[in-house]
Structure 1
Amino acid sequence: MSEYEEEMNQSPFGLTMTETEAGELRLMFEPDDFRFKIDATALRHMAIEKGYGELDFDESALAVAAQHVCKNEAFVSTIAQRRNAEYRVYVSSDRLVAQLQVTPSYGGTPISVDAARNELAKARVVFGFDEAAFQSALTNKLGEPVTVAKGVAPIPGRDTRFEPLVEVNRERVPRANEDGRVDWRDLGDIPMVSPGDVLMRRHPPEQGKSGRDVFDNILQAPDGKNLDYPYRLEGAERDANDPDLLRATSTGQPVLLRDSVKVEPVIKTPGVNVSTGNITFVGSLVINGDVQSGMHVKVDGDVTVHGTVEAAIIEAGGSITVNGGIVGQNAQQRESNANGEQAKLHAKANVRAKYAENALIIAEQSVYIDEAVIECDITALNRVEIGVRGRRKGYIMGGRVRATLGIKAEYLGGAGSRQTRVQVGVNPLLQQRIDEKKAQIAALAKEEADLNKLIRFLADKPDKQDVVVKAKNTMRRLLDRRRECFAEERALVADANLSESAKVEVSAGVYSGTTVNIGKQSTFVTEDSGFGVFRLEENQLIFSKT
């Protein structure tokens, strides 16, 4: 038998169609003196008339063939293919999903249910089979993969969960008014507990639930990690009848920790002055009067002052709230008084006050002042907001105010004030926190390496296995803490990225003599103007009404 089996006699136009044993439809053209034009559609119709309509046609080959005919050029080209139905099985990398792709036949062996099932059997897909999806795959004219089997994913066990049972933490949240507006300065009262109050419940870890893949293999799931309360508890103890329950042993402010709640004592004093002396305290402090000049207050928790803070120093591990004002001594007073000081406040969380004058304020979160700041030096890791909506008293007059994410005020500068400088988008506190977190991660890594050496050294010493167990428990806690540090570092870096969109919002007016910095860009205001927003646009500092 020749290479081509002739299916039709040569036409008057010199066109011949033949089908090979491999099912390829060949088109041959032998030019003669008679020239004519033809297109791909006409060639296809010729093939259909000769009984090849079910074949899989190559449209580009038909187009090229038509061009050769129009140019009266001899050629031989495969323009169609007889194809059998095809079956392909795809299994996902996690072995939980199997898909069947059925390619329809083109004049060849038609789709067969048995052939499709055999292909799945060869792929060993036996679990989670969906008969309806299988039938859909057989009738899918587009030949797209269809999910025909699904396994059951393993569910990892839940780690020990620590559930607070009391309002906790110095990070109290703002509350919405009846009209739905949020007063960002109203954080409610300091939560308090008394001896015997429940603080936290420890929920034991849960076992993992195994799964099954489409090959009917069992997929094991890890159990949750078992964590316990720390050995040393502050102001709390385990319930005598329920070791998973924590109760308070003293009166104070509950503070949420990663794996427990500690109770910080809260003390009250009528004021801080020469008669009380400086105060250093592990807990929170409520001052019902004033903090007089020259005094120093340092506490691990919150400081609440119901009076005024003069040229004193307050350091807090939580927030500082001054219901009155903060009034330090101005530069002239400090020059004439050898003991003259600014008021200096440093809070690990927020600083809130009615007003501030001649004060140095550092907040590792945000600063909120109700009325005005005059000749102050303020640095906040997040935001600075001066003024209360509708009161028209939110002045920043003189001094310097820095915040990473944004500054909001009613007015910048003021008649007769010294130069006012505000800066957003860059904050040394943020980089300091990022560097501290990196150092903490490095220290934890070194501690883990030292513990690993100890564990390896004691591994073959039977009399030291209790030490090995303790070391491994410590290692697990270190690994958990290092993961937390990585997450905290990522959050700080995210804040640094957010600072690129920082802005200065002015609700009422900007006075001449004000300098505004956003990132590395700066502008000096030479004329008084109304409300607006300073922001970066295409790396240019602009001021607009929106």
Structure 2
Amino acid sequence: MNDDKPAGPELQLTLDDATRSLRASLVPDAQVPRIDPFWVRDRLADAGFSEMKVRTDGVRSLLAHYNAGKAVSDLEIADCVDAALQVLVSPDALEARLTIAPPQGGRAATKAEVLEQLSLKGIHEGVLVDEINRAIADGQARELVIARGREAIAGDDGVLECLLPEIRARVPNVRACGRTDYRDLGEIQVVCAGDALMRRHPPTPGTPGVDVLGKPIAPRAGKDTRFASNLTGVRSADDDPDLLVAAIDGQPLQVRGGMMVEPVFTVDTVNMATGNIRYDGAVRVRGDVKAGMSIHASGDIEIGGVVEPATLESGGSIVVKSGVLGGIGQKDSNSHCIRCTGSFSAIYAQQARIEAGDSIFIDDLAMKCELTAANHIRLGLNRRGQVIGGLLRATLSIHARTLGAPNRIRTELEIGTDPALAGALQASTQARDSKESELLEMGKLLSFSDRYPDRIAPAVRLRAEQTAAALSADIEALRGEEVQLRQRLSLAQHARVNAERAIHDGVVVRMAESSLRIHGERGPTTVRLADQNLAVFALEDDSHLDDER
């Protein structure tokens, strides 16, 4: 018995140097009537031609002829293919990428060829030689970065740096998270004429870049920021126009575009002897404000003692170091009110009507009061922090340690509604549209001046440029205002009532059309919207509030 297999047909392979193709000749063998592609592949490997690029049609013809019993002579079945390389430059000319298709029986790519391609394309900046060497060693690459330019670095915008350690800002204080920033509003800070208030840092031009072709890339210069033109009580330093100093003694207040100083009027007590006070600036009262008196101030008001049933109106914030005794329930209760565009702070309030354009902070007790705040109402920092009776309204949150009392006194809380916000947003949008229309007209005038410089007087062009710059600054400020207003409207949807310790029976919470009455006494509690209705939940962990304060 003979176990030897037939040797099979002999495939003769010849490499044509001229055409760099592999030719095959094959005579049919009766002992092996059929062959397949795997047989051909093995013969090529045995002969050392496995790296060549096989011609599929040639191999198919070889198999068809042999399997039909026909001889094959000088049939091209494979080719020698050299490595192919391509260098592409990115659209911004900051990168050059290399792709190398590996050879198939031909020559491998060389470093010299890559460098030649770079030279032909004019690439000579930021060439990464190590990456080229790695690609050549690997014999292949796919969009490998082999040259990288330097991007231009934009300049820093100009900024206004406050030089005072603590300064009160006359803007609503709304945190992105919607939480209350409970802080002691402090005393009225006073500066003297000549004190440094704020420094203007001009914008930087930026750092130029360069692309892989060696062309420079101009950076974007930072936006300039200048002191507003309507600041009062301040001036530029004589030897430094970028330094803002106090022109008078008074209270410094940070505003958009800089800082202003308001004069401070100080009095021991407001009573029948002093008369009512109406002052364009800040007012400081060391003692009490007696019943029936009034204070109207464009700036902050600070009261060192007690406010009896009286009227306080402030264009800034109001700080009462002691408490407020209002007149709700009395015959002339409507004639007494406390209003401020900023925040209000006091130790306690009883039967008082208080309205704040920002937030209301009462440390101890609010009893039978009407409190209205555009942002937050918060009770309790170092003392009881309890609300008993009355009506409290706040757009974003009402937060107290205890809400209501065990005797079920009716205490009404309203959150999440402030029609003034929507109106302010509409007014800001309309004002921006108007200024954008004016800016468009100024742009047309300046474009006409560019085309026909002899038809527009230089003085007219200068005024147009100044007007356009002022309009652009106003438009940017209005856009920022609109962003803040939209943020506040969004936060209003997440408004809530928090009771750190307890909320009693008799407390009613309202939000738009939804109303919820608390039944029974509850411990730490949050009331907020859930599925379009108010619902009661366990108080969320507010342990990190101390960090925010």
Checking the alignment, whether the CA contact within 8 Å between 2:160 and 2:200 is kept in structure 1 is: yes
- Equivalent of residue 388 in structure 1, options 381, 398, 407: 381
- What's the counterpart of residue 72 of structure 1? none
1:131 corresponds to which residue?
129
Q: Distance in 1 between matches of 2:153 and 2:387?
A: 55
- Give matches, 1:480-499, under 5 Å: 480-499=473-492
Rounded to whole Å, the distance in 2 between the matches of 1:477 and 1:425 is 36
- Cα displacement (A) at 1:252: 0.6
- Compute the RMSD of aligned alpha carbons: 4.0
Paired position in structure 2 for 1:503: 496
Question: 1:533: which partner in 2?
Answer: 526
Indicate which of 433, 438, 445 corresponds to 2:424.
Answer: 433
Q: What is the letter of the counterpart of residue 248 of structure 2?
A: S
SS of 1:445 mapped into structure 2: helix
1:376 aligns with 2:369: yes
CA 1:429 to 1:471, structure 2 compared with 1: closer, same or farther past 3 Å?
A: same
CA distance in structure 2 between the partners assigned to 1:232 and 1:367 by the alignment: 29
Gaps of 5+ in 2: 1-15, 17-21, 57-77, 172-179, 541-549
* Deviation larger for 524-533 or 217-226: 217-226
CA–CA distance in structure 1, aligned partners of residues 246 and 118 of structure 2:
62
By how many angstroms is 1:264 displaced? 0.9
1:362 to 355, 364, 369: 355
Equivalents in 1 of 2:239, 2:136: separation in Å? 64
**In the aligned structure 2, how far is the partner of 1:382 from the partner of 1:46?**
85
Give per-residue Cα distances to partners, 1:293-312, cap 9 Å, x unaligned. Answer: 44332222211111222333
TM-score normalised to structure 2 length: 0.76
In the TM superposition, what is the alpha-carbon distance from 1:354 to its structure 2 partner?
1.1
Rounded Cα–Cα distance in structure 1 between residues aligned with 2:80 and 2:138: 19
Q: Which residue of 1 aligns with 2:544?
A: none
**Deviations along 1:195-247, whole A, 9 cap, x unmatched?**
22222334445444432111111222355566655556522233333333333
Q: Secondary structure at the match of 1:166?
A: coil
State the alpha-carbon separation in 1 of the partners of residues 313 and 108 from structure 2: 83
Contact 2:362 2:380 in 1 (8 A): yes
- Aligned 8 A contact 1:364 1:429 in 2: no
Deviations 1:253-303 (A, max 9, x none): 122344443211111122333433333322211112223344332222211
One-letter identity of the residue aligned with 2:489: A
With the length of structure 1 as denominator, give the TM-score of the two structures.
0.76
The one-letter amino acid of 2:416's match is G
Aligned equivalents of 1:412, 1:231: Cα separation in 2: 47
For 2:333, give the aligned amino acid.
G
Q: 1:537: Cα distance to partner?
A: 4.6
Q: In structure 1, the residue corresponding to 2:337 is in which secondary structure?
A: strand
Once the two structures are superposed, residues 402-455 of structure 1 have per-residue CA deviations (whole angstroms, 9 ceiling, x without a partner) of 333322111222234542222333333433332332233234224434545665
- Alpha carbons of 1:220 and 1:545: their partners in 2 closer, same or farther (altered >3 Å)? closer
CA separation of 1:237 and 1:110: change in aligned 2, threshold 3 A: same
Using the alignment, how far apart are the partners of 2:490 and 2:34 within structure 1? 72
Read off the aligned partner of 1:424 and give its amino acid letter.
I
Query: 1:96 maps to what in 2?
Result: 94
* 1:330 aligned counterpart, secondary structure: coil
SS state at 1:373 partner: strand
> Counterpart in 2 of 1:544?
538
Residues 259 and 425 of structure 1: CA distance in aligned 2, closer, same or farther (over 3 Å): closer
Give me the whole-angstrom Cα distance separating, in 1, the residues matched to 2:454 and 2:345: 58
Deviates more, 1:477-486 or 1:162-171: 162-171
Secondary structure of the equivalent of 2:236? strand
Which of 264, 277, 297 matches 1:266? 264
Distance 1:257 1:411, change over 3 A: closer
Residue among 238, 246, 249 paired with 2:247: 249
* CA deviation after TM superposition for structure 1 residue 99, in Å: 3.0
- Of 300, 303, 307, 1:302 maps to 300
